[in-house]
Amino acid sequence: MKRLYKSQRWPNDKWRWILPILLIALFLTTLIWLPWQAQRMEANERQEQLIADTLWVEQAIQFQIDRNDEMLRQIGADMMNIGLKPDAVLLRFRNLLQNNHEISRLVLLDQHNAVVTSSHDTAFNSSNILAPDDIYSAQAELDNKTRCFAPRQETKSQKYNYVISCQIPLKKENHYFGSIIITYHANGILEELVPWWFAQENQISLLDNDDKVIATRAAGGPGKNVYTHNRNLELPGVTLALRTNSNKSEPKLLSNLLVVMVILLSMGLIWSLVALWRDINRRLAAEGALRQQVIFRTAMENSLITGLRARDMHGRMTYVNPAFCKMVGYPAEQIIGRLPPMPYWAPEVVEEYQQRFSKLLAGSVPQDGFETIYQHASGERIPVLIYESPLIDESGKQTGWMSSILDISELKRAQELTRQQEAKLHSSARLATMGEIASMLAHELNQPLAAISSYTTGAMNLLEAGDTDKALLLSAMEKVKTQAQRAGQIIRSVHEFVKKREPTRELVDINALIKNALPLVELQAQAAHISLQWLPLPGTPQVLADQVLIEQVLLNLTRNAIEAMEDTPPEHRNLRIQASLDNDGDIVVEVIDRGHGIPTSVADRLFSPFFSTKTTGMGMGLNICRTAIEFHGGKLTHRDNPVGGSIFRFILPAVHEENSPTDLPTAASQKNNEAVKYAQTDAARPLLPVTF
């Protein structure tokens, strides 16, 4: 399917690139061809204009020569019809020469070709004007047509070297009266009959039949042989060539302003197309990347198990992801666009929702997450953990709030299971502890029981002996009572310690709690020949704690301290338990020993599960202690004792009454400081015995 899709897309992709390339190639070809074509067109226009102007000049010369011929024929007609005299003919000749400077000479010949009159020198005969072969013969005079003769160079060097002579016969009724010879200067024809504007742009030349130049006019300079044209100048009896050679050079490629503008515009268009093509490619690439990002983001959001929602500044829901819809059981179209109250709000916590929502609209966003309850569409309650954060747009302006919602149902169940397992573990630990002190417990109970037996035996002996000393009997019974209470206290402590129960937190006096656990501590201390000292702190606030858990922590810490002092000299086998207050008014309990201490390599892993330095230990004692203290919101730490050994210290949050002072009294503070100072010095002081 994928291959088929690619094969279907290939033609479109192919033409998508081939067509613009062909269009650009065509455009570039046109761009190159256009100046060349414009140059050719301009050259053709110049050539055509030159041909047209040359034709016009040739016609103008031809017209003027024909006009001169007509005027001379009119003079001859007047001479033959009205008997015009030679002087009058000469006068007319001179008027004609005055108005037509291209004419060099006018000569009137009689029927024998003798000069009758001449515009210049009457001494000239016909041989001075025409070659002998050029003069009309009597037989050739019958056609009455003007005849011109080949150009010839005059004998004397004058301004105009070459002249062209034409003979106009004068005939009437086939009677030949003579002829008029008109002589043109070859250069005069070009000077007088060619317009000045044409001479400024072209070099004009007259050529004879042998292509010999007989006259030239180049007012604008010599021709450049780029644009030339030859035109025949047909005179009666002779043909001359009128050659024009333009003094214009070949047009430059970019001389035309229009072409330059077109090229510039074309280059600008090409640049615009390239920029547009680049911008389109970038836009397509950006759109493709954005599309991929949107697809990836959508896939990521759809695969998330964390619910996401977005709200605007008015609290209106603007976005939810599938995980959130699945969590609350409502489709997105039923949630997006709604304002609170929301359908997934649990009725019992609506007031809490309203308060949080009001704070959110006021801009108070909680830094840490908070737990609450949602109601599924099926009615099921779902515990959730919500994190709120401002929703910022690209300009840095807040547009709403973004929330991530975690369904912590499984977490709650796991926590409950963990709590149950920890309770079982605590119970097992207590049983293990009692197993270790069972023998010491039997020894300790044996003493009060033996004392009771002795006192009762003594009392009975007194009664049997008839001694009725009441004071002595009361003293014996009082001692029996004391020993019985001591045994009962030991049994109650053991019972409370080992019985299986759910953790309950209640207000407890820390001094009473420690005093209640001391009998079991004393059993272990006496077996190891260790002196036990307890420094209570009068007037301490109460703590909200489970008494059995704290007693278990205290027993574990004291047992570890006793075991750590197995190799300690007898005079240093001192175990101290003391209570104090920290700077925040919380309860601090310290267990101080003079044992071997804790190496630095071991300290980092001391509270890790299943880590132990004992060969028979499971490594769970200190971990259980820390878990129990943290369960109460406190903290368990340890440090080295400056005089040798270790100090284990746990803190429990104190519960202060509203009207009670939170500061510790001066006397209590002084006593606390003295207790700490005592724990950190080698000063030998007899330890006080523990009393119950």
Buried b (16+ CB within 10 A) or exposed e, 138-172: eeebeeeebbbbbbbeeeeeeebbbbbbbbbbbbe
DSSP 8-state symbol, 111: T
Question: What local confidence, expressed as pLDDT, does residue 356 receive?
Answer: 81
Where is average pLDDT lowest: 7-16, 245-254, 488-497, 564-573? 7-16
Q: Which residue has the higher pLDDT, 524 or 310?
A: 310
Kindly report the pTM of this predicted structure: 0.39
Question: What local confidence, expressed as pLDDT, does residue 323 receive?
Answer: 86
Helices 547-564 and 470-498 meet at what angle, rounded to 10?
Answer: 100
Q: Which residue has the higher pLDDT, 132 or 117?
A: 117
Q: Which long-range contacts (CB under 8 A, 24 or more apart) does 429-435 make?
A: 429/552, 429/556, 429/620, 429/621, 429/624, 430/497, 430/498, 430/548, 430/552, 431/498, 433/497, 433/552, 433/555, 433/556, 433/559, 434/494, 434/497, 434/498
Nearby residues of 647 by Cβ (< 8 Å), 6 or more positions away: 590, 591, 592, 593, 638, 639, 640, 641, 679
Question: What local confidence, expressed as pLDDT, does residue 590 receive?
Answer: 93
Size of the chain in residues:
692
Q: Is the pLDDT of residue 258 over 50?
A: yes
Where is average pLDDT lowest: 303-307, 323-327, 416-420, 664-668? 664-668
Please name each of the domains of the chain with its CATH number.
Answer: 2-246 (3.30.450.20), 304-407 (3.30.450.20), 409-502 (1.10.287), 505-692 (3.30.565.10)
Q: Is the pLDDT of residue 624 over 50?
A: yes
pLDDT in tens, 58-114: 898 889 988 999 999 999 888 888 888 888 888 998 998 888 888 888 999 888 888
Q: Is the pLDDT of residue 348 over 70?
A: yes
591 band by pLDDT with thresholds 50, 70 and 90? very high
Nearby residues of 576 by Cβ (< 8 Å), 6 or more positions away: 533, 534, 535, 590, 591, 592, 593, 675, 678, 679
Q: Which residue has the higher pLDDT, 688 or 97?
A: 97
CB 533 within 8 Å of CB 592: no
Residue type for position 408: I
Question: What local confidence, expressed as pLDDT, does residue 313 receive?
Answer: 85
The side-by-side arrangement of strands in the sheet containing 646-652 is 531-535, 574-581, 587-592, 646-652, 635-640
Question: What local confidence, expressed as pLDDT, does residue 434 receive?
Answer: 59
Distance separating alpha carbons of residues 327 and 305, to the nearest angstrom = 9
The side-by-side arrangement of strands in the sheet containing 307-312 is 317-320, 307-312, 398-407, 381-392, 370-375
pLDDT-above-90 percentage for the chain? 4
Q: Is the pLDDT of residue 667 over 50?
A: no
Ranked by mean pLDDT, the top range of 307-316, 473-482, 492-501, 645-654 is 645-654
Q: Which residue has the higher pLDDT, 633 or 500?
A: 633
* Three-class SS state of 73: helix
DSSP 8-state symbol, 207: E
Nearby residues of 20 by Cβ (< 8 Å), 6 or more positions away: 277
Question: What local confidence, expressed as pLDDT, does residue 342 receive?
Answer: 85
Question: What local confidence, expressed as pLDDT, does residue 129 receive?
Answer: 54
Question: What local confidence, expressed as pLDDT, does residue 446 receive?
Answer: 61
CB 458 within 8 Å of CB 450: no
CB 617 within 8 Å of CB 563: no
Residue type for position 678: Y
Query: How far, rounded to the nearest angstrom, does the alpha carbon of residue 461 sit from its chain's CA centroid?
Result: 104
Name the average pLDDT for the chain.
76
pLDDT in tens, 445-472: 665 676 677 668 777 777 777 766 777 7
Q: Is the pLDDT of residue 691 over 50?
A: no
Question: What local confidence, expressed as pLDDT, does residue 2 receive?
Answer: 40
pLDDT in tens, 151-188: 888 755 445 578 888 988 888 887 888 889 999 888 88
Q: Per the structure block, which two tokens stand in for 173?
A: 């009724």
690 band by pLDDT with thresholds 50, 70 and 90? very low
**Mean pLDDT, rounded, for 494-500:** 57
Residues forming beta bridges with residue 257, ordered by sequence position: none
CB 540 within 8 Å of CB 514: no
* Three-class SS state of 235: strand
**Mean pLDDT, rounded, for 429-433:** 62
**Mean pLDDT, rounded, for 17-36:** 72
**Mean pLDDT, rounded, for 13-18:** 61
